[in-house]
A and B are shown apart, each in its own frame.
Chain A
Amino acid sequence: AQSVSQHNHHVILSEAASLELGCNYSYGGTVNLFWYVQYPGQHLQLLLKYFSGDPLVKGIKGFEAEFIKSKFSFNLRKPSVQWSDTAEYFCAVKSYNTDKLIFGTGTRLQVFP
């Protein structure tokens, strides 16, 4: 069965530190890839997405992610985090075969000033 793994369950950083959150998926076919963010008390929002083309995608608020097909990975990065980035981050994958969006378990990011 298709699955999504997020290796970091809880990440604690100081402001200005660099961030990388891991995401790996199990499906080998054509996929769409997403990172969603949920700020405290708010609903899930799309951070960035990959459908096709350049494997390095840029999203809102300075986030970017790189799709590495050979590694089945779609890691999220930000060179310098801010306190306002404190949130839960979800990686999600949708395969063309099942047309179903599968989420990872999420990574809780805490950024301290």
Chain B
Amino acid sequence: EAGVVQSPRYKIIEKKQPVAFWCNPISGHNTLYWYRQNLGQGPELLIRYENEEAVDDSQLPKDRFSAERLKGVDSTLKIQPAELGDSAVYLCASSLDLGGLAGTEQFFGPGTRLTVL
């Protein structure tokens, strides 16, 4: 079974430039997550999709960050313009959320390491 796919794996840009990350979740997973992981920290949720609906984007800096999951499958995360402080690893995860009280496991992709110069 293919895991969560992310591209690119690495990206170096100058500040004020735009950048986009792409994620393809595990087939059949209805829930998709974008996390940011700063150096020496654990991942922090940016946005969560259930199918094509963003159900939690409270941590997404909406002035410069945007995300979409148009057909409820793959997703893109964009930063425009990038700032020095955006340097981090951006992780995508997916899960099959059946609702109710059942616990769900998130499967993570390899991440995109962004360096803003």
B73-115 Cβ-contact flags toward A at 8 Å (1 or 0): 0000000000000000001010000000111111111110000
Question: Which size class do A's interface residues fall under?
Answer: 20 to 34
Counting CB contacts under 8 A, is A105 at the interface?
yes
A106 contacts B42, CB within 8 Å?
Answer: yes
A105 contacts B41, CB within 8 Å?
Answer: yes
Known A100-B56, A101-B45; contact A44-B105, beta-carbon cutoff 8 A: no
Q: A interface vs B, CB < 8 Å?
A: 4, 30, 32, 34, 36, 42-46, 49, 51-52, 90, 92, 94, 96, 99-101, 103-106
CA distance A45 to B111 in the complex (A): 12
CA distance A34 to B43 in the complex (A): 13
B108 contacts A105, CB within 8 Å?
Answer: no
A32 contacts B103, CB within 8 Å?
Answer: yes
B101 contacts A106, CB within 8 Å?
Answer: no
CA distance A45 to B48 in the complex (A): 19
Q: Of B3, B45, B102, which is within 8 A of A100 by CB?
A: B45
